[in-house]
Amino acid sequence: MDAVKAGGVVAYVTCSPHPAETTAVVSDVLRLRNDLELLDAGAALDAVSLTGNLGAGHESTAQLWPHLHATDAMFLALIRRKP
């Protein structure tokens, strides 16, 4: 995150539903750095979806599922370096 300017956003994306590769990674990064904040990834996906509501949001991250979204089990977190 040191390479990201203040106010910049990093999208952390994986094709995994496993907490060790998704929410645990995000939690660790946020715990170690007080200059970062989590944006609402579910709302961001809803804003660009054709239907307007994917229902993929969970807290501030998003998890897509094959049986619900016809995708791989993709995870998204949007992390912003505070201005």
Q: What is the pLDDT of residue 61?
A: 95
Length of the chain: 83
Name the token pair of 75: 């995870």
Could you give the 3-state DSSP secondary structure of residue 3?
Answer: coil
Q: What is the pLDDT of residue 56?
A: 77
Question: Active-site positions?
Answer: 15
pLDDT mean for each 10 residues of the chain (83 residues): 93 95 96 97 87 77 89 94 95
Q: What is the pLDDT of residue 26?
A: 97
**Domain residue ranges of the chain, discontinuous segments joined by +:** 17-81
Q: What is the pLDDT of residue 2?
A: 86
